[in-house]
Chains A and B, each alone.
Chain A
Amino acid sequence: MAQHSTTPARSASPAGTLATYRRLWKMNLLSSLVQPLLYLLGLGVGVGSLVDRNTGSGAVLGTSSYVAFVVPGLLVTTAMGLGAGESMWPVMGGLKWQRGYHGIAATPLDARDIVLGHATWIAIRCAIAASAVAIVLALFPDTRSWGLAPSVLVAMLVGVSFAMPIMALSIGAERDGMFPAIQRFVVIPLFLFGGAFYPLSQLPVGVQWVAKIAPLWHGVVVARGFTTGQVDWPGVAGHLGYVALWVVAGTAIATRRMRGKLYT
């Protein structure tokens, strides 16, 4: 996991700052590609061949094939995992290990700039990773659609919606011991039970509600609308609005806690 102790500055041209940012180009695109592609092959081809043979599954899935159903889930979960990871160890590194945030705090920038800068960086990473997955998906007729393009943006938003609340937790954390727990008890369960790889309706109602609290399912539903061409615009607005609430609340709390840590 790469460490990012510094963030792009609040400046007239964040892209200009980023251009100096060698790590952007060094970052391992391949690794963020391998995992979704493995799932695509394993689930899409393996499980998919079973599912598609089961008459009536099309009605439950609402798509022509299982692979088509899984595509938006792959995009959005890729961004979720990346957003979560980027807001754990790198944030602790900025505060405690390399202490880069303290260096920035001594400049005219403040806690808000640091949080927004890191959020921008995470959004860009999520967008790049999701784009890479989308490009590969566009190579195959079964998974190709114009809906991949807006789905990349949805994935980016979901990535940030996980990153910001987790960042708020990371800023307050004394040690990095909680990070594997977040992975095991939040990220992986949502990956499995968040509606990415089968319809939530297959789960008990109680579990469905828990899954719907998190932003993942909302993003997957919207992205699936785009990739299948069945877009319900009021639904899109509602779901994305809910995801955005996580972003806004997480950012507000992270900023307050960051200020408390850096300016004591």
Chain B
Amino acid sequence: MPEPLIVAHQLVKRFGDFTAVDGIDVQVQPGEVFGFLGPNGAGKSSTMRMIGCVSPVTSGSLRLFGLDPATHGAKIRARIGVVPQLDTLDTELSVQENLWLYGRFFDLPRAEAKRRAVELLEFAQLSDRADSVVDNLSGGMKRRLSIARSLINNPELLLLDEPTTGLDPQARHVLWDRLYRLKQEGVTQVLTTHYMDEAEQLCDRLVVMDHGRIVAEGSPRSLIEQWSTREVLELRFPAGTNDTNAAQLAGIGERQELLPDRVLVYAHDGEAALVEAHARGLQPESALVRRASLEDVFLLLTGRSLAD
């Protein structure tokens, strides 16, 4: 196995009394797409900022490319690309000017920056908007430009902090496609998200974070297999009757999860569970059998849904 690109050991980040990251161990291999999954405030962004060498490590150790961010921050930053949670584009400059200028920050020669910009605009499907002022772009286009900009220095590692938050479904799929292409080109990616489908689509391996700690780790598939049943039965009852109905489900499937709007029954055979529920005289307004997803893993591990 090649040398890991990122090695974090007992990594801690504190802000005053508040512990944002509470002793995590992470290794990311070259070429891997690695995800940090968790609700808001779980410590994902703090972790990403430490990896991006813009936030000093409180304790523990962190190495990227074998280098210590405390002493080689600028050197490491030269080799990574960052797509921040909030766009930091220069909204008064044009699309291509944003790329040129950012390239200059990496000391790219001007000709090189311009050549890269043409390629990246193609990649981000923004070639026809090269001269548009950023202010006039849609949210999805700005996000794509942020990704294009983060690639101006040919990074070996790309950090994406909630890359598709706030985008419509179509824009998200375009972005996912671009990220998948980067993966095929061998660019290592580390991303945070609170979208389960995004994590399942993109990540080779991920960790679930909660309260600054890692509560589970593995591939999306293995996490589902480890933490959930194969199928899930979703039942909706008339408003206000969830509690009483859920009580009558006791013993069906492996366990139940009571949500504000529905009851989840975890079972290896969802149809059989539904048949049994009907046999007990329960009459849900709707019933749905589906495969278990990361959302279910998340619900079990953190006790809350990701939307919280």
Contacts and interface: CB of A to CB of B under 8 A. Distances in A.
B89 interface: yes
A108 B92 CA distance: 23
Contact of B77 (A5, A11, A99, A108): A108
B172 to A, nearest CB: 23
A102 B55 contact: no
Contacts of B15: 264
Contacts of B87: 99
Contact of A106 (B54, B92, B94): B54
Given A20-B101, A99-B88, A262 B54 contact: yes
A76 interface: no
A108 B54 contact: no
A110 B74 contact: yes
Interface in A83-122: 98-110
A98 B56 contact: no
Contacts of B77: 106-108
A99 B86 contact: yes
B36 interface: no
Interface residues of A, number: 28
B106 to A, nearest CB: 6
Contacts of A9: 101, 104-105, 107
A263 interface: yes
A20 B54 contact: no
B56 A108 contact: no
A17 B54 contact: no
Interface residues of B, number: 32
Contacts of A104: 105
Contact of A98 (B82, B91, B102, B107): B91
B97 interface: yes
A106 B110 contact: no
B89 A103 contact: yes
Nearest to A262: B54
Contacts of A109: 74, 105
A241 interface: no
Interface in B73-90: 73-75, 77-78, 82, 84, 86-90
Overall SS of chain A's interface:
loop
A143 interface: no
Interface string B41-61: 000000000001011100000
Nearest to A23: B92
B100 interface: yes
Contacts of A107: 77-78, 102, 105-106, 153
B182 interface: no
B24 interface: no
Nearest to A13: B110
Given A22-B93, A106-B77, A108-B77, A6 B101 contact: yes
A223 B55 CA distance: 45
Interface of B: 15, 52, 54-56, 73-75, 77-78, 82, 84, 86-94, 97, 100-102, 104-107, 110, 149, 153
24 contacts: A5-B91, A5-B92, A21-B101, A22-B93, A22-B97, A98-B90, A98-B91, A99-B86, A99-B88, A101-B88, A102-B54, A102-B84, A103-B84, A103-B102, A106-B77, A106-B84, A106-B88, A107-B77, A107-B106, A108-B106, A110-B73, A110-B74, A264-B15, A264-B56
Interface of A: 2-3, 5-6, 9, 11, 16-17, 20-23, 98-110, 262-264
Given A11-B104, A264-B15, 10 more contacts: A9-B101, A22-B93, A23-B92, A98-B89, A102-B88, A103-B84, A106-B82, A106-B84, A107-B106, A263-B54
